[in-house]
């Protein structure tokens, strides 16, 4: 027996078999909701209205005809711009150029002219968010039988972005000559349709170890005449997006000691010292992107993005200027810093308040928005992992954090993060305050450079081999270092 689902506000009707899962149905129609937990019913992010009642799509079985009303989705500000070094334009193939930065949360597409001029930029939330907010969730879904669905999802999204860029610039997709793609190892493998089994267990070895060129039409038929450039990974959890950052920042040939930090659901970091580079990855988790936080959300309209203390007490700004409906990562870091200064959190992360909801301590930022004790713990886990990674990379070179000359923050989170707040809570060592600069979407800038320069593309193989990967979990002192860095500076 079949059932009919009417989806609003899209005003489309879908016929599905009786007993189908509602979230799976919506995924299949590219109407994917955020499903931070991967569809396990724990995050509450896939709420929809069915018959005037809120239900979780992942926990709803289609056993009757129904009308489903989708809530208004967050429209986060997706960062596309980033610093980049200039390169001579000499692509592998003639024609227009496409560069992709496939992030766990967002996807950015750049269209360049044959001379390297940026003609159009389009972006979207990664449609795979419907399968989970982080890399681990998507690995589990892929190994559970959803590899083809995840691959189809990202390719469909990329195809839409290519079409939008070409339409904006008034060119035909057939004129695209080169497509370069960077992303973390999981995102790359899912795009290429490669099993992610290697990322599910020790030793997490990369499978993309060679730079390669192949016909783009095999994966993105919209561009039948393009060559697709695949960039190798440094390790199983440090990928081509980090290589893009290294290229765009030019840290690979600096005489200074430079720390590159790209904080997302994972924290990828590279430290350059005396002509050598070491890289590591830390499981920062999705908290700094708003997931696993009670009122967490992405950096969209309604999100508290900055918090400070003034004569009136705790004050904050909201993206879009309206009422606060949640808090994003930059606001979360600011809030924790303010609460530390105000004595409302002790160095172990314990809330020093008597206010409770549901038996859990909370601290209010406004009449509607508050932070829970678990929210603070999520921040501690994220900042402890990142700080431990920095400390152990410094120990690898036998230097102190204070000897680092420059800190480059890559990515959207780094662009909105307050360096003062980051140092106050110990996300970054206090000795680095005053040395920190935000460089924007360096991964995207690196992808553009690779599409323009075949010399750079051929050089990237040697660059990957020159970077030493530091497997933090294999270092005997890591757990102690991580635990120590979970506490807040006094």
pLDDT digits over 315-331, tens only?
Answer: 999 998 888 999 988 99
| Neighbouring residues of 280: CB distance < 8 A, sequence distance ≥ 6 | 238, 268, 269, 389, 392, 393, 469, 470, 471, 472
Determine contact, residues 327/296, Cβ cutoff 8 Å: yes
What is residue 18's predicted lDDT score, i.e. its pLDDT?
81
For the chain, give the percent of residues with pLDDT over 70. 93
What is residue 289's predicted lDDT score, i.e. its pLDDT?
72
Over residues 220-253, the pLDDT tens digits come to: 999 999 999 999 999 998 999 999 999 999 999 8
CA distance 434 to 415: 15
Residue bearing the bigger pLDDT, 33 or 269: 269
Residue 75 pLDDT exceeds 70: no
Taking the model in full, what pTM does it have? 0.83
Residue 120 pairs with which residues in a beta bridge? 111
In this prediction, residues 55-69 reach a mean pLDDT of 83
Lowest mean pLDDT among 93-102, 339-348, 406-415: 406-415
Residue 487 pLDDT exceeds 90: yes
Residue 124 pLDDT exceeds 60: yes
What is residue 57's predicted lDDT score, i.e. its pLDDT?
81
Over residues 358-406, the pLDDT tens digits come to: 788 899 998 899 999 999 999 999 999 999 999 999 999 999 999 999 9
Give the model's confidence band at 5: pLDDT under 50 very low, under 70 low, under 90 confident, else very high.
confident
Exposed (0-12), middle (13-18) or buried (19+): which is 70, by Cβ within 10 Å? middle
């Amino acid at each position: 027996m079949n059932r009919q689902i009417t989806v609003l506000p899209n005003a489309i009707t879908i016929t599905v078999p009786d007993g189908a899962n509602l979230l799976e149905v919506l995924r299949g129609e590219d109407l994917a909701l955020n499903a931070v937990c991967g569809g396990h019913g724990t995050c509450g992010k896939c709420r929809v209205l069915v018959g005037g009642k809120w239900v979780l799509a992942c926990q709803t079985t289609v056993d009757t005809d129904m009308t489903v009303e989708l809530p208004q989705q967050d429209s986060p500000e997706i960062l596309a711009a980033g610093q980049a070094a200039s390169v001579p334009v000499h692509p592998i193939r003639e024609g227009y150029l496409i560069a992709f930065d496939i992030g766990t949360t967002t996807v950015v597409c750049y269209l360049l002219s044959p001379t390297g001029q940026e003609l159009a930029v389009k972006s979207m939330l990664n449609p795979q968010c419907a399968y989970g907010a982080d890399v681990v969730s998507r690995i589990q879904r892929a190994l559970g039988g959803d590899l083809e669905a995840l691959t189809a999802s990202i390719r469909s999204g990329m195809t839409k972005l290519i079409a939008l860029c070409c339409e904006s610039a008034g060119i035909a997709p057939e004129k695209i000559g080169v497509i370069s793609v960077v992303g973390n190892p999981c995102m790359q493998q899912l795009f290429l349709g490669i099993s992610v089994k290697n990322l599910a267990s020790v030793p997490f070895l990369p499978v993309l170890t060679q730079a390669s060129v192949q016909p783009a039409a095999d994966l993105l038929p919209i561009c039948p005449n393009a060559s697709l450039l695949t960039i190798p990974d440094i390790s199983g959890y440090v990928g081509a997006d980090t290589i893009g950052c290294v290229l765009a920042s030019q840290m690979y040939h600096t005489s200074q000691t430079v720390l590159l930090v790209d904080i997302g659901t994972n924290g990828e970091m590279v430290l350059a010292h005396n002509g050598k580079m070491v890289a590591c990855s830390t499981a920062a988790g999705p908290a700094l992107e708003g997931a696993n936080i009670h009122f967490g959300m992405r950096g969209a309209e309604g999100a508290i993005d900055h918090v400070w203390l003034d004569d009136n007490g705790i004050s904050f700004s909201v993206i879009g200027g309206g009422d606060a409906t949640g808090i994003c990562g930059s606001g979360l870091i600011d809030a924790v810093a303010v609460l530390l200064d105000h004595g409302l959190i002790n160095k172990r992360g314990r809330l020093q308040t008597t206010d409770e909801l549901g038996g859990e301590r909370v601290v209010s930022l406004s009449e509607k928005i508050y932070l829970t004790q678990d929210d603070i713990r999520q921040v501690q886990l994220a900042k402890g992992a990142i700080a431990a990674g920095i400390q152990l990379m410094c120990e690898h070179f036998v230097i102190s954090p204070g000897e680092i000359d420059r800190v480059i923050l890559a990515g959207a989170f780094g662009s909105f993060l307050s360096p003062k707040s980051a140092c106050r809570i110990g996300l970054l060592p206090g000795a680095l305050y005053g040395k920190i600069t935000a460089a924007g979407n360096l991964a995207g800038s690196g992808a553009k450079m690779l599409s323009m320069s075949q010399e750079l593309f051929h050089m990237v193989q040697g660059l990957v081999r020159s970077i030493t990967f530091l497997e933090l979990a294999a270092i005997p002192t890591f757990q102690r270092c991580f635990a120590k860095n979970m506490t807040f500076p006094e």
